[in-house]
């Protein structure tokens, strides 16, 4: 968003302080409220009037995820093929309640999830031809919730519903916040959510020894380890848990093993990155988000399981008004029994259209280009000694930070990097975000917008360098003034 408001000339180079932000924030919060009436119109409005409002009132208040200068969070790709798929989906507007309410919608989903499984070279057990299969969920949060619930119900069926207090969930401290949310929802006791600390020595992946130890301590305490969530491409730093080694632990202890590859899963369609998924033979469920980095417009999170019956056991309801011979005879897949909502959109269309209109080969090239751009950005960062690269760049995310000034590192550069990020984003020339790892404030530069080219990387780096210089100079000036 543009830096509106009556900022005084000599303030323009200063990052906003929190008083200013609060002031602007309130103004922004009231932004649309002031611009729009407080009730729906009684009579139809002119279409051009509505379109004008979108251009003048809505668009200026958006964060532009499709900008080539968007490097925040992880990408949220839009594409022509994905867009056309959404248009057809919305135009047909068929509501998937069960197979019979739109057979082709379910069948295409089954087929296309098999296609994608093959592109990712997933073990055959994840294909629909056996006991497994794939489903499109809205988000990785929903995927993680449904498998956690399926795992919970499976173990409780064996040991009794009164044993909830014994169930223990494991993950690294780098796991996505959705696991915490899923645990809250599933009723996992707070004390039974084991967060295995990671550090730079294992590249912020889980150390299997630490996991093994935690599992054994819990077993000795009479608890029941039942679920592990590993990540391939964590949210903070795109780190990767070692699937084979931790898979052996989950196998030994009969735990449900889920792998969340929401972001980095897309890269694994390239053979040279597929090794990050080695170990999937130990895994019960696997999720990645084509809506992030595989050109599918949001939302489209793909989840595969090896035993679809575990989902149906947890989510099947089979009410009278949906009964039909096809479902009763178990001839067909009813995806409503694999998920939380009953109704579903025809989302497989956009996935199918992207795969067909672009083809696997071009999609691999698309991924490789972003990773290549990220490597170039990493080189730029390395070439400036004021900065450091914090984590290895495995995919298209570069984690770096501005090094704290000598003799001035009470907070190890936390405030400095926070100010720098604010200053850069306030220029309006690019947008990126941060994270905290091992108490360090880290700048995350995530390449992956469809329109991003080499020049955007170079220009972004120039802005970052310039703002860093300004902050350094201001810092030196303030020290002089203090003296």
User: 249 to 308, contacts with a second copy by CB under 8 A?
Assistant: 291, 297-299
Pair type for strands 387-389 and 397-402: antiparallel
Q: Residue 471 burial by CB count (10 A; 0-12/13-18/19+): exposed, middle or buried? A: buried
Query: Could you say which of 68, 123, 203, 341 contacts a second copy (CB under 8 A)?
Result: 341
d(CA 474, CA 133): 58
* Nearest approach, Cβ of residue 274 and a second copy (Å): 16
Query: Closest separation between CB of residue 205 and a second copy, Å?
Result: 18
208-247 residues in contact with a second copy (CB under 8 A) are: 235-236
Compute the least distance from the CB of residue 175 to a second copy, in Å.
10
* Residue whose CB is less far from a second copy, 114 or 378: 114
The answer to whether 110 touches 128, Cβ cutoff 8 Å, is: yes
Stretch that binds a second copy, among 87-95, 208-216, 274-282, 302-310 (CB under 8 A): 87-95
CA distance 368 to 313: 40
* CB closer to a second copy out of 87 and 217: 87
Cα-based angle 365, 262, 352 (whole degrees, multiple of 5): 60
Residues 89-118 that bind a second copy (CB under 8 A): 90-95, 97, 100-105, 107-108, 111-112, 114-116, 118
Identify which of 150, 480, 470, 475 has the alpha carbon closest to the alpha carbon of residue 306. 150
Closest CB to a second copy among residues 299, 459: 299
| Angstrom distance (rounded) from CA 117 to CA 290 | 12
Q: Between residues 65 and 405, which has the closer beta carbon with respect to a second copy? A: 65
Please tell me whether residue 357 binds a second copy under the rule CB under 8 A. yes
Peptide bond into 299 cis (omega under 30): yes
User: Strand 440-446's sheet: what is its strand order?
Assistant: 70-71, 431-437, 440-446, 397-402, 387-389
x/- track of binding to a second copy for residues 36-55 (CB under 8 A): x-xxxxxxxx-x--x---x-
Report the alpha-carbon distance of residue 169 to residue 183 in Å, rounded.
8
CA 126 to CA 307: how far, in whole Å? 8
Least separation in angstroms between CB 39 and a second copy: 5
- Residues within window 146-185 making contact with a second copy, judged by CB under 8 A: 149, 153, 161-162, 164-165, 176-178, 180-181, 184-185
Q: Does 59 bind a second copy (CB under 8 A)?
A: yes
> Where are the strands (E) in 34-123, listed by range?
70-71
Whole-number Cα distances in Å, 2 to 5, 16, 297, 348: 9, 13, 26, 37
CB of 431 to a second copy, least distance (A): 10
**Phi, psi dihedrals of residue 145, rounded to the nearest 5°:** -65, -45
How far apart are CB 114 and a second copy at their closest, in Å?
A: 7
- Does residue 319 belong to the site contacting a second copy (CB under 8 A)? yes
- Judged by CB under 8 A, which of 145, 155, 394, 398 binds a second copy? 145
Site for a second copy in 426-465 (CB under 8 A): 433-436, 444
Angle of CA points 368, 374, 376, to nearest 5°: 105
Residue 281's nearest CA partner among 309, 248, 234 is 248
Binding a second copy (rule: CB under 8 A), the pick from 56, 362, 462, 479 is 362
Helix (H) or strand (E) holding 87: helix 80-92
Between 249 and 305, whose beta carbon lies closer to a second copy? 305
Q: Does 2 interact with a second copy (rule: CB under 8 A)?
A: no
Pick 93 or 201: Cβ nearer a second copy:
93
Give me the phi and psi of 157, to 5 degrees please. Answer: -60, -30
Structure tokens at 172: 């690294």
Candidate list 13, 31, 312, 459; residue touching a second copy; CB under 8 A: 31
- Quick one: tokens of 62? 């958006």
Is the CB of 239 or the CB of 297 nearer to a second copy? 297
Applying CB under 8 A, the site for a second copy has a residue count of: 125
Least spacing, CB of residue 442 vs a second copy, in Å: 9
Question: Binders of a second copy among 369-408, rule CB under 8 A?
Answer: none
Contacts to a second copy from residues 121-140, by CB under 8 A: 138-139
Tokens representing residue 148 in the block: 């956690």
Q: How far apart are the first and last CA of the chain?
A: 38
Of residues 6 and 317, the one with the C-beta less far from a second copy: 317
353 binds a second copy per the rule CB under 8 A: yes
Tokens coding 299 = 């939302």
Interface residue with a second copy among 66, 376, 429, 465 (CB under 8 A) is: 66
């Amino acid at each position: 968003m543009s830096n509106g408001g009556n900022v005084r000339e000599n303030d323009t180079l200063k990052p906003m302080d929190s008083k200013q932000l609060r002031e602007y924030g309130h103004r922004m919060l009231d932004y649309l409220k002031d611009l729009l009436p407080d009730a729906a119109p009684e009579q139809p409005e002119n279409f051009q009037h509505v379109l004008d409002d979108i251009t003048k009132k809505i668009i200026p208040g958006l964060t532009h995820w499709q900008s080539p200068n968007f490097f925040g969070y992880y990408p949220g790709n839009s594409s022509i093929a994905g867009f056309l798929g959404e248009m057809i989906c919305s135009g047909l507007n068929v509501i998937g309640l069960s197979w019979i309410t739109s057979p082709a919608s379910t069948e295409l989903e089954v087929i296309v999830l098999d296609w994608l499984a093959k592109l990712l070279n997933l073990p055959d057990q994840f294909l629909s031809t056996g006991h497994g299969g794939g489903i499109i969920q809205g988000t990785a949060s929903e995927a993680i919730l449904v498998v956690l619930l399926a795992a919970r119900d499976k173990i409780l069926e064996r040991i009794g519903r009164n044993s909830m207090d014994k169930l223990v969930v494991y993950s690294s401290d780098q796991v996505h916040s959705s696991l915490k949310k899923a645990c809250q929802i599933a009723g996992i006791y707070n004390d039974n959510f084991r967060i295995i600390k990671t550090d730079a020595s294992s590249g912020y992946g889980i150390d299997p020894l630490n996991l093994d130890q935690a599992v054994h301590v819990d077993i000795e305490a009479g608890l029941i380890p039942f679920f592990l969530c590993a990540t391939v491409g964590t949210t903070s730093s795109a780190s990767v848990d070692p699937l084979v080694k931790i898979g052996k632990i989950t196998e030994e202890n009969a735990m449900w093993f889920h792998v969340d590859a929401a972001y980095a899963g897309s890269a694994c369609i390239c053979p040279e990155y597929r090794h990050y998924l080695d170990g999937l033979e130990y895994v019960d469920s696997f999720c990645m988000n084509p809506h992030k980095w595989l050109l599918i417009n949001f939302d489209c999170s793909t989840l595969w399981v090896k035993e679809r019956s575990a989902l149906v056991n947890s989510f099947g309801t089979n009410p009278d008004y949906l009964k039909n011979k096809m479902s009763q005879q178990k001839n067909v897949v009813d995806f409503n029994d694999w998920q939380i909502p009953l109704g579903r959109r025809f989302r497989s269309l956009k996935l199918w259209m992207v795969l067909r209109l672009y083809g696997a080969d071009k999609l691999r090239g698309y991924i490789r280009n972003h990773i290549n751009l990220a490597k170039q950005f990493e080189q730029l960062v390395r070439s400036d000694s004021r900065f450091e690269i914090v984590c290895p760049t495995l995919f298209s995310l570069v984690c770096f930070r501005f090094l704290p000034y000598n003799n001035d590192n009470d907070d190890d550069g936390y405030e400095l990097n926070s100010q720098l990020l604010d200053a850069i984003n306030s220029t309006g020339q690019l947008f990126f975000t941060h994270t905290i790892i091992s108490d360090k404030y880290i700048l995350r530069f995530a390449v992956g917008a469809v329109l991003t080219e080499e020049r955007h990387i170079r220009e972004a780096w120039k802005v970052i360098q310039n703002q860093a210089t300004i902050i350094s100079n201001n810092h030196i000036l303030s020290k002089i003034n203090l003296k």
